[in-house]
Every structure is written in C-alpha cells, then in structure tokens.
C-alpha cells in the first residue's frame, strides 16, 4: 500500500508540474516550486524526466541579463501526438492532436444505419483512425495513444460500454469491452470515456474552463450529458457513470425515456425529445415539415425561426425545464462556471432565453452570486479533441501508455 501511495503522489506531482507549465507558459523551476508548493529538488527531478521525454524544453529568457540568463521551461507542442475519436450514432469523428490539443489532422467517417454491432463499430473506428493518420502523414510510431469519447454509460477504468443510446436498441451493448476491441484493431493503447467527460477535460485543459477547478459542462447532443469537475478533479463516480444528468427527473409528465424509465429530463428536453415532439405535431397537422418522411433538428429550428408557434413552444418548454434542473445542480455543486454546448445550441435564443429565465427564477439572494453561464458554439470535433485530451491526461500522470 505504501508503494501505491508513493506512485500516486508521483503522478499527482508530475501532473501538477505539467499543468502549471501548460497554464503559465514560459516559467522557471523556481516559479513552479512556488506555485505548486513542491520542493526545488522535486521540481528539478520531475522537469528533468519531462525534458527527457520531450514533453517540455528549456529556453533562455529573452532580453539583456547580467551573468547567466534565467532558464525557463515551456511545453513542447509537438513533443507527442495522440488520436481522439468521437463515436456518435451517425459519424465517427477522428483527430490527431499535439500536446496543446491543436488539431494536426482530422477525418469523419459516416456510419451506415445498418452498422450497429460492437465488432462492426470497432472495425469502423479502426478504419477511421488509420485513414486520418495516413492522410496526414503520421505513422503508428508517432502516436502515443488513442482516446474514445462515447455517449452513454461508460466505465473508463474497465474500458466497458454499458449502454450506447445510438446502437443499443436491438443489439447487445451491455458491458461491451469496447476499448479492448478497438485496441486489438489499431495497435494503439486505447482509453474510453463518456463523451461529456471528454468534453469537460478539453474545456478544463484548453477551453472556456481553463484554470477553473469547479465547473460543469452540459451537452445537448443526442441526449443530455454532464461533465463535472469538482476541486480540479473529474467526477466519475463509483461505477464510472456519474454525470447522467439526462436521467434525473424532468417533471411529473410520464414521457418514456430511451433508458426505459419515465419522466427523465432527456425524454423532455433533449434534441431527441424536441425532435419527437415536433414529429408528433407534424403528424397531428399542427405544422407542415419540408418532408413528411424525414424531419431533422435543423428543419425544426428553421421552421421555428420562421414563425412556427408550435415549434417555438416546444423549444420554450425544453429550455425552461433545462434551466430549472441546471439551477438545481448549481445549488448542489456550487460551480464557478457552467458551459452548455451541443447541437441544440443551433436553436440559440429560442432555447437559451427561457433557460436563462428559468435559472434566474430559481435564484435567491441567500445563494449569493450565480455561476457564469457560457454558451459554447457546437463543434463535433471538440468531442474528439476531448478524447485526445484524455490520452494527454494519462501522459501527464505518467500512466502506463
């Protein structure tokens, strides 16, 4: 147990040093020690290892100096490359990123709706990863690892998918060792994580939550997800499935959710629920979609923006319920910042004005200031970048990779 504790402490110290360099930019060893509280010798040992691994490098302080110029440390952007992939029900998005999460290459592979079994999806992931690397000039030896962002119930420690909302119906996606399936096909050490968590990692490392240790990301993609940081740590929970915000109670209505329960928030306010309500309204003749065969979220947004009252009411209802439940979370978690993103962001003020109004209605002077609310533009690629950042996180902690 003592050895395990020492290894954990080394990983934490290494992560702390790299995080400080990443956030501060050019910085001296002395400043790192002051900011992290670590001893000078510890900082020297850790930075020496990081230099030997090519993750950071030394640089002289610019300008004139008397005597020897101070030596600063900086992140080496191209010290390593990793692959991140986001697996939705319709597309596999892949990126190769460097140590600063800058995209060095990307590729999107559309998924045929008939491709739904774990083995078939693993085959397509491997194909998309190979294509992305080859097209942009990366050989396997360039890549330090592969991260997968997956919507649904995921146990990252064991590499298991318990439930994928896009593929589960009619196929057995219960406790699928998906990380192992992909690793067999790619040869890259593979880590999997819920896609909302990978997005939270990305925002914490490189995005709107950079330098913020208490925040959450609400994703409005197919369902409703939550990536949660408390005191600088990603919250995964006992089974690795914490953050299933879409499966808390929405209100008293008996809408059936894809998970099998009734009244889930996801069954009332997710993009899937908005689409379902709009389809019901179309079938009832309350609005005329451009095509009676296929109705997309984009169709609904366009029609609502053009004055379809019934659709505007659907967005208002969804935004109000979301705002109420997000306000509940703020009182439980006390975040500094809330980030909302996902495809529903395309609806803009139709969704977010009622959301903000509902949050405001739930506030009280007793709870002092409200968290900063950030509506982040929807970019599917960021889910894949977050999956890559998951691998960078493992590198920072010096986990086996």
Q: Residue 3's pLDDT band (boundaries 50, 70, 90)? A: very low
Q: What is the mean pLDDT of residues 92-101?
A: 92
Provide φ and ψ at 119, rounded to 5°.
Answer: -65, -40
pLDDT in tens, 379-389: 878 889 999 99
Q: Residue 200's pLDDT band (boundaries 50, 70, 90)? A: very high
- Please, what is the average pLDDT of the chain? 86
Helix (H) or strand (E) holding 33: helix 29-36
Q: Residue 66's pLDDT band (boundaries 50, 70, 90)? A: low
The answer to whether residues 295 and 314 touch, using CB atoms and an 8 Å cutoff, is no
The answer to whether residues 79 and 56 touch, using CB atoms and an 8 Å cutoff, is yes
- The tokens for 19 are 């995080």
CA distances from 333 to 212, 237, 311, 371 (A): 14, 14, 33, 11
- Which residues make beta-bridge pairs with 383? none
First to last CA, the chain: 22
Q: Is residue 64 over pLDDT 70?
A: no
Q: Residue 401's pLDDT band (boundaries 50, 70, 90)? A: very low
**Predicted pLDDT at 1:** 40
Helix (H) or strand (E) holding 372: strand 372-375
**Predicted pLDDT at 368:** 63
CA distances from 47 to 54, 80, 399 (A): 10, 16, 16
* Residue 330 or residue 263, greater confidence: 330
pLDDT in tens, 301-322: 999 999 999 999 999 999 999 9
Could you give the count of Cα atoms lying within 13 Å of 144 in the half-sphere of its Cβ?
A: 24
**Predicted pLDDT at 165:** 75
Q: What is the mean pLDDT of residues 262-266?
A: 75
Q: Which of 1, 170, 159 is nearest to 89 (CA)?
A: 170
**Predicted pLDDT at 174:** 85
What own/partner pairs with CB < 8 Å and gap ≥ 24 does 275-283 have?
275/300, 277/314, 278/311, 278/314, 281/310, 281/311, 281/314
- The tokens for 283 are 């079938």
Q: Any idea which of 36-40, 49-53, 190-194, 220-224 has the lowest mean pLDDT?
A: 220-224
**Predicted pLDDT at 48:** 92
**Predicted pLDDT at 131:** 97
CB atoms within 10 A of CB 157: 11
- Which residues make beta-bridge pairs with 86? 93, 149
Q: Is residue 10 over pLDDT 90?
A: no
Angle between helices 309-333 and 271-283 (to 10 degrees): 160
The answer to whether residues 197 and 239 touch, using CB atoms and an 8 Å cutoff, is no
For the whole model, what pTM was predicted? 0.83
For the chain, domain boundaries: 2-75, 81-201+382-396, 211-375
**Predicted pLDDT at 353:** 93
CATH number assigned to the domain with residue range 81-201+382-396, chosen from the 4 options 1.10.287.130, 3.40.920.10, 3.10.180.10, 3.30.420.40:
3.30.420.40
For residues 365 and 360, what is the distance between their CA atoms, to the nearest angstrom? 11
Longest dimension (CA), the chain: 82
- CA angle, residues 156, 199, 343, in degrees to nearest 5: 120
**Domain spanning 211-375, CATH architecture:** 2-Layer Sandwich (3.30)
Question: Tell me: domain 2-75, CATH 1.10.150.120, correct?
Answer: no
Q: What share of residues in the chain are helix, strand, coil (percent, to 5)?
A: 45, 20, 35
For residues 172 and 178, what is the distance between their CA atoms, to the nearest angstrom? 12
The two domains 2-75 and 81-201+382-396 share their CATH topology (first three levels equal): no
* Residue 350 or residue 15, greater confidence: 350
SS3 229: strand
Q: What is the mean pLDDT of residues 347-352?
A: 88
């Amino acid at each position: 147990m003592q050895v395990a504790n020492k290894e954990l402490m080394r990983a934490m110290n290494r992560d702390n040093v790299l995080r400080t360099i990443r956030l501060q930019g050019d910085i001296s060893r002395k400043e790192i020690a002051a900011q992290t509280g670590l001893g000078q010798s510890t900082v020297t040992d850790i930075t020496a290892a990081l230099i030997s691994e090519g993750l950071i490098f030394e640089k002289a302080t610019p300008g004139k100096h008397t005597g020897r110029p101070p030596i600063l440390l900086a992140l080496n952007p191209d010290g390593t490359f990793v692959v991140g992939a986001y697996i939705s029900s319709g597309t596999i998005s892949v990126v190769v990123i460097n140590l600063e999460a800058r995209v060095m290459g990307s590729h999107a592979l559309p998924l045929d709706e008939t491709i739904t079994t774990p083995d078939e999806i693993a085959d397509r992931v491997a194909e998309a990863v190979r294509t992305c690397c080859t097209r942009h000039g990366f050989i396997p030896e360039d890549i330090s690892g592969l991260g997968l962002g997956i919507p649904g119930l995921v146990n990252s420690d064991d590499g298991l998918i318990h439930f994928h909302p896009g593929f589960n119906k009619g196929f057995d996606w219960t406790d699928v060792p998906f990380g192992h399936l992909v690793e067999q096909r790619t040869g890259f050490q593979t880590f999997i994580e819920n896609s909302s968590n990978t997005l939270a990692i990305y925002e914490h490392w490189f995005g709107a939550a950079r330098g913020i240790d208490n925040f959450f990301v609400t994703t409005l993609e197919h369902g409703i997800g939550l990536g949660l940081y408390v005191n600088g740590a990603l919250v995964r929970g006992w089974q690795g499935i914490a953050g299933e915000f879409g499966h808390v109670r929405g209100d008293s209505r008996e809408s059936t959710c894809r998970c099998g329960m009734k009244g889930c928030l996801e069954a009332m306010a997710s993009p899937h629920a908005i689409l379902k309500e709009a389809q019901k309204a179309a079938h009832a003749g309350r609005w005329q979609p451009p095509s009676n065969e296929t109705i997309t979220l984009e169709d609904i947004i366009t029609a609502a923006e053009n004055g379809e009252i019934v659709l505007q009411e659907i967005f208002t209802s969804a935004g109000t319920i979301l705002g109420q439940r997000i306000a509940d979370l703020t009182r439980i978690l006390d975040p500094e910042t809330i980030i909302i993103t996902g495809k529903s962001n395309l609806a803009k003020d139709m969704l977010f004005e009622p959301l903000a109004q509902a949050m405001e209605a739930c506030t009280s002077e007793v709870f002092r200031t409200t968290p900063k609310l950030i509506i982040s533009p929807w970019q599917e690629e960021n889910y894949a970048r977050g999956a890559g950042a998951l691998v960078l996180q493992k590198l920072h902690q010096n986990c086996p990779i």
